[in-house]
Structure 1
């Protein structure tokens, strides 16, 4: 597997451990993280601090046991890695759980993550929030 594959795999492993520093260790200074339209935290966040505050911090605050679990990593060979997986967790405000499929597209250049884009069924996720 490529270096890009290993970097993305390490990100998910750090997330599973709850290791925020490990999750962002390979983020480029100008990493662009895009949560798709319709997702509760939709938008593009640029830079580690913006991603921590706008995405990761909110997920921890709003969801109990939130996980982004990759079932498969597909190495594009050009610094692109695609993850097929699922989200799961319980929305704290409603007590409702969810399990929703996702596709994540990662961009890695010179050993650093430069981009991330999320695709998921936002309707299913929002059902847990209602």
Structure 2
């Protein structure tokens, strides 16, 4: 096994691989204790949450409760050193409305010392809102 530290790009690739496996512990493994996680204004769980537990409660658990088959499909990771950009697609079916959506998305990740320190999401919130209504 290599003792080489993982790059920010690999850390984020590992996060998405854990997400695909529905491995919450794996998704949280590299988050700094004071990670700042921002969901875009207009998104159902909009806001900035500090700390992994806040992210779990206000984002991951809420998405799982409100959406059936909610997922992020990664298309590409862009390596910019301590910043990693992911592009892809969200999709899911809102449980209450029964409506589905698909929307393009970009995630911007900031890392320091091998830990995720910030995350920011950019997506077409109108497409999501139309599925909720």
Q: What are structure 1's unaligned runs of at least 5 residues?
A: none
Indicate yes or no: 2:122 matched with 1:119: yes
Looking at structure 2, the residues matched to 59 and 84 of structure 1 have their Cα atoms a distance apart, in angstroms, of 19
Q: What does 1:48-59 correspond to in 2, within 5 Å?
A: 48-59=52-63
Residue matched to 1:94: 97
Structure 2 alignment gaps of length 5 or more: 1-5
Corresponding residue for 1:43? 47
Q: What residue is the counterpart of 2:22 in the other structure? A: 18
Q: Distance in 2 between matches of 1:104 and 1:26?
A: 16
Structure 1 residue ranges (4+ consecutive) displaced by more than 4 angstroms after TM superposition: none
1:116, 1:14 → 2: CA distance? 16
Secondary structure class of the residue paired with 2:12: helix
* 1:34 aligns to 2:33 (yes or no): no
- TM-score, L = length of structure 2: 0.94
How high is the TM-score relative to the length of structure 1?
0.96
Asked if 1:82 is matched to 2:85, the reply is: yes
* Equivalent residue pairs, number: 128
After TM superposition, list the pairs within 5 Å mapping 1:95-110 onto structure 2. 95-110=98-113
1:67 paired to 2:75: no
Q: Take 1:19 and 1:94, find their aligned partners in 2: how far apart are those partners? A: 27
Give the RMSD, CA atoms, in angstroms: 0.8
